[in-house]
Structure 1
């Protein structure tokens, strides 16, 4: 039984609630004056902030007008760190001193191959120890110095059902997962039915101006949209999304009804055809010790590749860029050379890249991809392609940047928030930057060099599929023996793939992109 004091204390909350309700009723009976008499009333409810991994990435749209300049170089030092106690300083010291013996101690054994018949690559020694159950050590066969390289290619968007089955077979991989199982095609054409290249695309929630996803159409006027990859789980139940499309002064809108089978089609006014197609082509190269052969192949074949690209229909106006990367604790983390149309100068920069450093399997691919997407001067109205040549996945074991992000070159894009994840000090992550790549209209063609483990294959295919690129991989006469010479077999989990020499395959992929551009 309550005492009188207890009854008095219990009546206080009830009294407060009564006073509050009365005040609210009075407020609705007589509107209060407020600043900004033209403000909408009632005010819009504010959405709860989305988890940071579902925020659209920060980026600057492509804005450069040309690349008629010598290449400029920007280097982010490796910092001398030894994450998780790994002894990685030998490779950095050997690189700084030009000590070939120190470099060789950190290189994995690989077959000596070349992209183009008649070119040579230096031999390697010392196979690496696998650092994860997915890593597969490679044998060290004795190979002739002159031999072509064959490679396979799969288009995971063309055979999407098989790609989903592949992901299911490899569920549980230590990767940054994005759910791409729900997919829709957006097609943008002009009034005459021609595809509109490089149209800006914003996907929106109903009644909310802020975009939840950005993209740019490719040379075929197309974009693949994956709502579950960019929608917060709290918004997963929304059945209709808005799609706004803009190219110059032309704008249009459409609705994406989730579950629809047909493509989302948007039509703009007539788009003027360009007089000469533009191509921005970047080579993103793993320059750690295990990549000596691949770097030698790229150097040997670069002239032939560039010559074949220059002879494509329309003779594209081509800008070349290069980003080499290693890892923390090495002589450099990333070394980037911005776009130039001076092929001779570009080849000189490529000639200075050599393999050294490394030490563990993962490398600084996160940081390098961030530099490619945000640090280079991408042009307006260009086909934007990245050819990644690497044999290892990115580091996913770093909890955060070991210093201020600006020290590693991960400052915000101009006029944007602190980083692609919206968190000051957060390290770049490949899944966020593959979304930023799509926002800038950049396609990733990921070439898996010999020794790429299943985790690396999964991540490379993630990046390629999301940006509508391709996964490319080396092939051999005997899949279990990379020293068996060129052939059609591979250890990668792929089906229905085509095989060509690697240099011709790269030119073919570039040619397919450029052939779809409308020319005047």
Structure 2
């Protein structure tokens, strides 16, 4: 009897202990679950297609392999694209160290004969079946090359030239290129009257009227007496940037390098006042087509605007390049003896129905003294290069292009040019701006040269 009593007590205590443990465990689990709800751990959505592991022995692939790839669904290739190519996928944003990209340039105004051969070669390649057959004709009537100089032979900056009812500006070195086949299509005479006006925006007084030979090759110099060479003291600097998904790397580099570029320009030209303008663009159907930010004096404000931009959208190959350039040339550019530069950074042409608008925008830029410097990014193919080089040609700018020498980013198409010098991109941009401000072509130093292609001599292909 006593044994049965002790056994009953033992099992009662054991049952009570088990119940307590179970209750405690349940309470603890409930507490932990509540903690998870209040502080969730967010994990990134898995990539549809994981990136391969980085390969240390391949510098050229290091950037594209440094983060998981993001696949962008491409829209079907539009009928307006001759290449049938879709844009390359966008990549995660990162801000790389300044001074990594490498680039070259070609001055097609200076190398007009070679440009004519290039244009014919690229058109012949399409055999009349591509979009280039629908592009306007620019070079059929050749080029009129003038230089307005003072009595010492130095070029005069921003002299107004009134030609066939239109007013143009000389560059800061006094040079001026006009393509009558496109800009004065009604011209059928070998003689053309040119009236030279002062670069004083308040008066625009006539200084000289002369007659030039439209069929003469080479430069025709016009001397102005009583005028002294005065370099620009102001700079209007605008960036027009394609911000579709394929341009992530280029946008990141612009954010990274702008400040160091401007600081170097200011050290070289401390008396120059600078205004900054920005236009970003994508395409119809994206979040926006064109966004325009007005000129302002603050570099920090410009940097803030750039940092707010991101690359997204796009899909088919062409973009709204025409709308962006047109918006840019109609901005509030300064008057008088100023340098006016537009850097157009893109990797795709305009849609075929926008090509004429892009050409016309380049013509307006020429009339306003705005020099357009297109920069061909990774992804540029024949049609984009052809359009961008014509925009540079008409506006008296130069075509610039990224190269593979840095080993950074996607592969860049070799440009169809006879000669060029490769340097860092930031150095090229500084030289470009400095050339416009100093009235002379600024060439790279030997220390800046990475490699040279063809027979290059101060921008001229021999």
TM-score (norm 2): 0.70
- The alignment partner of 1:431 has SS state of helix
1:434 aligns with 2:390: no
The equivalent residue for 2:443 is none
Change (3 A) 1:275 1:142: closer
Q: Indicate if the aligned counterparts of 1:279 and 1:318 stay in contact, CA closer than 8 A.
A: yes
Query: Rg larger in 1 or in 2?
Result: 2
User: For 1:469-493, what per-residue CA distance to the aligned partner results, in whole angstroms no more than 9, with x for missing partners?
Assistant: 11111111599x9647xxxx84332
Superposed counterparts of 1:191-210, under 5 Å: 191-204=151-164
1:159 aligns with 2:111: yes
| Aligned-residue offset at 1:352 | 1.0
Q: Indicate if the aligned counterparts of 1:138 and 1:482 stay in contact, CA closer than 8 A.
A: no
- The alignment partner of 1:500 has SS state of strand
**One of 394, 397, 400 as aligned partner of 1:472:** 400
| Aligned-residue offset at 1:274 | 5.0
Tell me the C-alpha RMSD between the 2 structures.
Answer: 3.6
The equivalent residue for 1:134 is 83
Change (3 A) 1:186 1:371: same
The equivalent residue for 1:177 is 136
- The alignment partner of 2:364 has SS state of helix
- The alignment partner of 1:291 has SS state of helix
Change (3 A) 1:483 1:389: closer
1:506 aligns with 2:421: no
The equivalent residue for 1:462 is 390
Change (3 A) 1:300 1:377: same
The equivalent residue for 2:35 is none
1:245 aligns with 2:196: yes
| Aligned-residue offset at 1:135 | 5.1
| Aligned-residue offset at 1:284 | 0.6
| Aligned-residue offset at 1:275 | 8.2
| Aligned-residue offset at 1:145 | 8.7
| Aligned-residue offset at 1:231 | 3.0
User: For 1:251-275, what per-residue CA distance to the aligned partner results, in whole angstroms no more than 9, with x for missing partners?
Assistant: 2112122322353333334345658
Q: Indicate if the aligned counterparts of 2:347 and 2:380 stay in contact, CA closer than 8 A.
A: yes
Q: Indicate if the aligned counterparts of 2:322 and 2:357 stay in contact, CA closer than 8 A.
A: yes
Q: Distance in 1 between matches of 2:249 and 2:91?
A: 14
| Aligned-residue offset at 1:397 | 2.9
Decide which moves more: 278-287 or 192-201.
Answer: 192-201
Superposed counterparts of 1:213-228, under 5 Å: 213-228=166-181
| Aligned-residue offset at 1:141 | 12
Change (3 A) 1:472 1:263: closer
Q: Which runs of 5+ in 2 are unaligned?
A: 1-43, 49-53, 55-62, 441-462
| Aligned-residue offset at 1:130 | 5.4
| Aligned-residue offset at 1:291 | 1.2
| Aligned-residue offset at 1:428 | 7.3
Change (3 A) 1:124 1:194: farther
Superposed counterparts of 1:484-495, under 5 Å: 490-495=413-418
The equivalent residue for 2:25 is none
Q: Indicate if the aligned counterparts of 1:445 and 1:469 stay in contact, CA closer than 8 A.
A: yes
The equivalent residue for 1:284 is 240
Q: Distance in 1 between matches of 2:162 and 2:272?
A: 29
Change (3 A) 1:327 1:189: same
Q: Which runs of 5+ in 1 are unaligned?
A: 1-99, 106-110, 112-117, 205-210, 399-426
**Off by >4 Å, runs of 4+ in structure 1:** 120-124, 127-131, 135-147, 272-276, 481-484
Change (3 A) 1:292 1:246: same
Q: Indicate if the aligned counterparts of 1:192 and 1:270 stay in contact, CA closer than 8 A.
A: no
Superposed counterparts of 1:83-98, under 5 Å: none
Q: Indicate if the aligned counterparts of 2:195 and 2:210 stay in contact, CA closer than 8 A.
A: yes
- The alignment partner of 2:294 has SS state of strand
The equivalent residue for 1:320 is 276
- The alignment partner of 2:418 has SS state of coil
| Aligned-residue offset at 1:375 | 2.2
| Aligned-residue offset at 1:379 | 3.7
Superposed counterparts of 1:49-128, under 5 Å: 125-126=70-71, 128=74
Q: Distance in 2 between matches of 1:509 and 1:152?
A: 11
Decide which moves more: 316-325 or 184-193.
Answer: 184-193
**One of 358, 372, 382 as aligned partner of 2:338:** 382
Change (3 A) 1:368 1:121: farther
